[in-house]
């Protein structure tokens, strides 16, 4: 079953493929920041005791500039050009990764990570475009495939870094330089092959007014507010725990040879598993409903967060993180699908463009909270993250109970 967009003539799976490659390349570089930031800080001479605090604070910087720009990118994309906004991200990320490669001091690294905020804002635009060209019968699968691309990127980035560091014995700067080159290739690919996908309802009016209206829509619609709340809980838990996973690997593995490869195994390989399972979760959601899959995935994520600090070997830690990554991917796919189905067409594009607003909020609050909890040990960080996911499960059960009470009345 194929469908060509009436304006571009491009088939939905071509758009999905281009955006999936774009997302994969971006997340490769971002995952390398997460995986190798502690090693980079060691090279820069930061003491072992201070590294957890630096890890939390530097990861929070990634979203500082990105947060206030979130509503603007979606409005600008819908009003003028989705292709331009998405390509802009690829160009900026090439500059950012090059700056990180050139950083030789924590202050320089902090400035480089602040620049990441200017590359954000493309995922929601891509989701909105995919929704506009994809047949409804394939929506769950399409959203899951797109979600899987980021999971594969999170696997490929650390794996490539581990090979370069432990096998080719390159400096860490070379890892980020390669990601910069791949981002340039991504921008060229989009410019050459992506055709403009205009929204079905093109917004009119001032950009700032449209951005305020889009934000207001999130808080006035109960269903949208609920789904964003669930997504925010998951993102907060993930952003609270993920930056400290390399330190958990070091705690289990020890600061010995092939540490980079051990980090790549625990951080990267599970993300690949999540990427493979995500389309399966989407197909199951198409058949049995998105909400049952959502609840099961949230419950599984909470259990794995509790389990990870208790793992005694790198292999078991990788298994636990793999199950967590699978649950994260399934949650994301179900949230994307529910939003695409429940939001009215006249607000769909604006809402999907804001889908990662919870990520940006969590990206600041999560690492900062983790840095504060780190004084109690890494286990405290993961237990707190599990409680946040448990809150999401409670919210979903509460919403289901209210729904059944209304139907009974």
Q: Lowest-pLDDT range, 237-246, 319-328, 346-355?
A: 346-355
Mean pLDDT over 342-352 rounds to 69
Q: For residues 291 and 289, what is the distance between their CA atoms, to the nearest angstrom? A: 6
Q: For residues 141 and 283, what is the distance between their CA atoms, to the nearest angstrom? A: 5
In this prediction the pTM is 0.75
Q: Where are the domains positioned within the chain? A: 12-204+218-408
pLDDT recorded at residue 350? 65
Mean pLDDT over 96-100 rounds to 96
pLDDT recorded at residue 37? 93
Q: Is the confidence at residue 1, as pLDDT, over 50?
A: no
The pair of structure tokens assigned to 379 is 């286990």
Q: Lowest-pLDDT range, 36-40, 181-185, 205-209?
A: 205-209
Mean pLDDT over 170-179 rounds to 95
Q: Does domain 12-204+218-408 have CATH number 3.20.20.70?
A: no
Mean pLDDT over 233-249 rounds to 92
Q: What is the DSSP annotation of 90-121?
A: HHHHHHHHHHHHH--SHHHHHHHHHGGGGT--
Vertex 134: Cα angle to 69 and 190 (nearest 5): 55
Q: Is the confidence at residue 185, as pLDDT, over 80?
A: yes
């Amino acid at each position: 079953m194929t469908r060509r967009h009436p304006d571009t003539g491009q088939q939905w799976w071509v758009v999905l493929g281009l955006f999936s490659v774009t997302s994969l390349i971006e997340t490769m570089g971002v995952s390398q920041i997460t995986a190798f930031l502690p090693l980079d800080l060691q090279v820069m001479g930061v003491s072992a005791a201070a590294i957890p605090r630096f890890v939390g604070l530097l990861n929070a910087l990634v979203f500082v500039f990105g947060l206030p720009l979130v509503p603007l990118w979606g409005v600008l994309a819908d009003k003028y050009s989705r292709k331009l906004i998405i390509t802009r991200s690829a160009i900026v990320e090439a500059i950012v990764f090059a700056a990180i490669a050139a950083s030789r001091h924590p202050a320089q690294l902090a400035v480089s990570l602040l620049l990441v905020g200017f590359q954000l804002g493309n995922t929601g635009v891509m989701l909105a475009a995919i929704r506009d060209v994809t047949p409804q019968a394939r929506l769950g699968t399409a959203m899951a495939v797109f979600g899987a691309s980021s999971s594969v990127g999170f696997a490929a980035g650390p794996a490539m870094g581990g090979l370069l560091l432990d096998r080719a014995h390159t400096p860490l700067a070379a890892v980020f330089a390669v990601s910069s080159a791949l981002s340039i290739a991504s921008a060229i690919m989009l410019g050459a092959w992506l055709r403009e996908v205009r929204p079905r309802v093109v917004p009119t009016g001032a950009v700032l007014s449209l951005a305020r209206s889009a934000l207001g829509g999130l808080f006035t619609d109960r269903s949208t507010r609920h789904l964003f709340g669930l997504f925010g809980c998951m993102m907060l838990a993930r952003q609270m725990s993920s930056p400290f996973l390399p330190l958990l690997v070091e705690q289990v593995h020890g600061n010995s040879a092939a540490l980079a490869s051990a980090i790549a195994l625990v951080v990267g390989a599970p993300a690949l598993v999540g990427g493979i399972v995500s389309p399966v979760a989407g197909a199951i959601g198409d058949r049995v409903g998105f909400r049952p899959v959502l609840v099961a995935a949230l419950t599984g994520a909470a259990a794995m967060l509790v389990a990870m600090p208790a793992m005694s070997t790198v292999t078991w830690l990788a298994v636990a993180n793999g199950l967590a990554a699978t649950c994260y991917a399934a949650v994301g796919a179900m949230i994307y699908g529910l939003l695409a189905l429940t939001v009215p067409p006249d607000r769909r594009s604006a809402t999907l463009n804001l889908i990662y607003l919870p990520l940006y909020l969590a990206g600041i609050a999560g690492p900062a909270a983790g840095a504060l909890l780190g004084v109690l040990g890494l286990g405290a960080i993961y237990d707190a993250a599990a409680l946040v996911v448990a809150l999401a499960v409670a919210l979903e059960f509460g919403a289901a109970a209210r729904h059944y009470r209304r139907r009974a009345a």
